[in-house]
Structure 1
Amino acid sequence: MIGRRQAGRVPRSEVAERRSGGRRRFRLIGQVSGAGRNALRASGGGRALRAGAERGSFTAELAAGLPALLLLLLVGLTAVNAVSTRASCLHAAREAALAAARDEADNGDGGYATPPGAEVSVLIDGGRVRATVRAPVRTLGGRLPRITVVATAVAALEPRIGLGTP
């Protein structure tokens, strides 16, 4: 295939340059507002763009988007806090259920694993022990209501020495 130059065809832009003596011609679009009031802006591509037409658009977009980003950040951090608190509640529930199944009175409340402000309840039903831990999670908004996280663990009662049955 033969290219345009080889076939003797010249692109229009080169023809226009040759006719104008190698200089590109610009047409005037409009006046620039502000400090350069009398200065005129020229465009060679045929697109009509005013100088400063998008001035301040970044500031407006930032002002609209920044509160949404902060809200998203607060929700994300609260969710991470809730998941962390739930993991420690689950650990405390397991510890409490195993301690109650072994009939250990000193670790029946979940011990050191309970998060601050947590409530531990242990229920013995037949051959099983069910431990439930409830803990409040403070939201990072301050005035928003607290979220309550609940974790439950179940353990089988261990046979007691001398009794033979649970």
Structure 2
Amino acid sequence: MRSDRRRPGDEGMATAELAACLPVLVLLLAVALTAVAVASGRVRVQDAAREAARAAARGDTAVATRLARQAAPGAVLSIRRAGTDVVAEVHAQVRPIGGLLPAFTVTGAAVAALEPAASGASP
């Protein structure tokens, strides 16, 4: 026959275990959200760099700047010519969890070959 009696001192054990594990769970959630925010920012700056490089290769730096700002708002774009190529670099700050954690800088770069009509123009 089974007894349904509890041992003395067992009351509240589940609450105590939850209280001990809760900070670890919150920390894991914060790390996961930070990783997602940084990865998302990295994708945005890479897209911005790619679009800017393609537009700059056609000789249109104004469109390159506009496209980069659309793809990664608040990012800094730099375009330079390297021989027969155009290199676009985009840097942005990612502030995970609404700015509660320190900011991370993410960078994206892309290279595009200068198009023949744009060879005389400088980015």
**What range describes the TM-score normalised by the shorter chain of this pair?**
0.7 to 0.9
| Greater Rg over alpha carbons, structure | 1
Match of 1:136 in 2: 93
Contact 1:89 1:151 in 2 (8 A): yes
Unaligned runs of 5+ in 1: 1-43
Corresponding position: 1:151 with 2:77:
no
Greater helix proportion = 2
Corresponding position: 1:68 with 2:24:
yes
| Shift, 1:86, TM fit | 1.1
Q: 2:38 aligns with which of 77, 82, 87?
A: 82
1:53-93 CA distances to partner (integer Å, 9 max, x unpaired)?
A: 32211111111111111111111112111111111111110
Q: How many equivalent residue pairs?
A: 118
Contact 2:58 2:118 in 1 (8 A): no
Match of 1:92 in 2: 48
Q: What secondary structure sits across from 1:109 in the alignment?
A: helix
RMSD over equivalenced CA pairs, Å: 2.5
Identity of aligned residues (%): 47
Q: What secondary structure sits across from 1:151 in the alignment?
A: strand
Q: In 2, Cα distance between the equivalents of 1:153 and 1:83?
A: 17
Q: Does 1 or 2 have the higher relative contact order (CA < 8 Å, sep 6+)?
A: 2
Contact 2:56 2:64 in 1 (8 A): yes
Corresponding position: 1:125 with 2:82:
yes
Q: What secondary structure sits across from 2:91 in the alignment?
A: strand
TM-score, normalising length from structure 1? 0.62
